[in-house]
Amino acid sequence: MLKQIMVMALDSIISNKVRSGLTVLGIVIGVASIIALMLLGAGATAQIQGELAGLGGNRLTVSVTGTPVKPALTEENLRLLEGLSQVTAVLPSTSARVRVVAGDVQKANVRVFGRSSDFFTTPGTELAGGRALHPLDIGMRQHVAILGADLAEELYPRRSPIGERLYLRGREFMVVGVMAASEGFTMSNINAGVIVPYNVAERVLAGSRVNTVDVYFAMGSDVGAVGDELLAALTGIFDGRSDVFTITNQQGILDMMATIMNTLTLLLSGIAAISLLVGGIGIMNMMLVSVTERTNEIGLRKALGAEPHLIMMQFLIEAVMLCLLGGAIGLALGMALAYVGSLLMGFAFAVTLFPIVLAVGFSVAVGLIFGLVPAQKASRLNPIDALRHV
């Protein structure tokens, strides 16, 4: 019986192709936007999480605003932080914008990143050629530079920059390495920049001070305890002031990202919900028309012994199938959109079961809710009147 009803419903949908197609448009748009959203959201979250995990989950970042007397951390301070228990590495960072001159090529406003040799042990810092910073470069304050992939191409098109000399704010540096092009949010700005030893940057590039330090600590140690110890140490360094620096941990960034994503998702889900509502009303309208058109058929079926609940089921199933059709198209469209979006934004694209379940769930729900009134109308028709209807 159920099989026959489904075949009949499908037949009725197919026989009114244009009308069915237009009617399910609302469902298509609603489901497509939900699916695209969810997949993109999941992709973005996975991307950010992956990046943060790649940078090392066991890390605290210290950002220093400093006081007029003591605007940044000194070499001595860094040694102190390195000496804290659990701490495995302290990576100072500086950053400045300078004019770069390389032979005939000049470029203003290039970012110079002051880094330590340990920086090159973190993920996403692969080299395309040459060498990384060596501890000796730091110790001897060598004027060496490692170019970002894009900058290297710009300054030395189609030739190796290794061994070339360039000038940063008038100071001569030797290029010893070139970074591989890095992807993702947090690393991408290095592509257009240049890396030098942080203590060299500090000395020769005015305004380039150690304002940011990544403090790495042993896997499995208590983040809170390390944080507390770091806080105490920094408060000591800044003469009892704890308001001139901040300590952020990765989880905080993750949480913030999650909050933003959730807000966005909620907002766009609202839009999707409205289109599903409008789509549902469209379905109801079409089903009401269908019931009127098929009054005679309903009368006949009733005369032949169809109980009211079977008539109701027939029209409900038709509404649900109509919605499922829209849901399936919407699912395909949403996945296609998410795929294109992922390509454009460089996210990973993964098809999971959840959006499919969601699309099916939404479709069935919309079909049932908005099919109920027409189905009820059909089931309540008086067979005598209905049979006379032509």
Q: For other proteins, which residue of 297, 318, 328, 371 counts as binding (CB under 8 A)?
A: 297
Q: Which residue's structure tokens are 């600590």? A: 217
Burial of 367 (0-12, 13-18, 19+ CB in 10 A): buried
Q: How far is the CB of 8 from other proteins (least distance, A)?
A: 8
User: Among 241, 214, 207, which Cα is nearest to 119's?
Assistant: 214
At residue 238, the 3 state secondary structure works out as: coil
Q: How far is the CB of 322 from other proteins (least distance, A)?
A: 17
Q: Which residue's structure tokens are 């710009």? A: 154
Which of 64, 317 has the CB closer to other proteins? 317
Cβ-Cβ contacts under 8 Å for 314 (sequence gap 6 or more): 5, 8, 9, 301, 375, 378
Q: Among the candidate windows 206-214, 236-244, 299-307, 323-331, which touches other proteins by CB under 8 A?
A: 299-307
Q: How far apart are the first and last CA of the chain?
A: 27
Hey, what are 320's tokens?
Answer: 């649900």
Q: Among the candidate windows 118-126, 180-188, 303-311, 317-325, which touches other proteins by CB under 8 A?
A: 303-311
Which of 68, 305 has the CB closer to other proteins? 305
Q: How far is the CB of 300 from other proteins (least distance, A)?
A: 5
Q: How far is the CB of 371 from other proteins (least distance, A)?
A: 20
Q: Is residue 172 close enough to count as binding other proteins by CB under 8 A?
A: no
Compute the CA torsion angle 336, 337, 338, 340 (nearest 10 deg).
90
H or E stretch covering 195: strand 194-197
Q: Among the candidate windows 58-66, 67-75, 273-281, 293-301, which touches other proteins by CB under 8 A?
A: 293-301
Q: For other proteins, which residue of 210, 306, 366, 378 counts as binding (CB under 8 A)?
A: 306
Map the footprint of other proteins across residues 5-44, applying CB under 8 A.
11-12, 15
Which of 88, 376 has the CB closer to other proteins? 376
Q: For other proteins, which residue of 296, 337, 349, 365 counts as binding (CB under 8 A)?
A: 296
Q: For other proteins, which residue of 59, 115, 209, 302 counts as binding (CB under 8 A)?
A: 302
Hey, what are 2's tokens?
Answer: 């159920």
Q: How far is the CB of 4 from other proteins (least distance, A)?
A: 5
8 Å CB contact between 275 and 342: no
Q: For other proteins, which residue of 18, 69, 304, 353 counts as binding (CB under 8 A)?
A: 304
Map the footprint of other proteins across residues 355-374, applying CB under 8 A.
none
Q: How far is the CB of 339 from other proteins (least distance, A)?
A: 39
How many other β-carbons are positioned within 10 Å of the β-carbon of residue 82? 12
Amino acid at 288: L
Q: How far is the CB of 53 from other proteins (least distance, A)?
A: 57
Q: Is residue 4 close enough to count as binding other proteins by CB under 8 A?
A: yes
To the nearest 10 degrees (0 to 180), the angle between helices 295-303 and 250-293 is: 80
Q: Point out which residues pair with 386 in neighbouring strands.
A: none
Q: Among the candidate windows 61-69, 88-96, 302-310, 318-326, which touches other proteins by CB under 8 A?
A: 302-310
Which of 11, 172 has the CB closer to other proteins? 11
Q: Is residue 310 close enough to count as binding other proteins by CB under 8 A?
A: yes
Q: For other proteins, which residue of 218, 274, 281, 303 counts as binding (CB under 8 A)?
A: 303
Amino acid at 227: G
Q: Among the candidate windows 34-42, 116-124, 153-161, 380-388, which touches other proteins by CB under 8 A?
A: 380-388
Alpha-carbon gap, residue 147 to 153, rounded angstroms: 9
Cβ-Cβ contacts under 8 Å for 229 (sequence gap 6 or more): 84, 85, 86
Q: Which residue's structure tokens are 């001595």? A: 76
Going 139 to 125 to 96 to 252, the CA torsion angle's sign is: negative
Q: Which residues bind other proteins (CB under 8 A)?
A: 1, 4, 11-12, 15, 296-297, 300-310, 383-384, 387
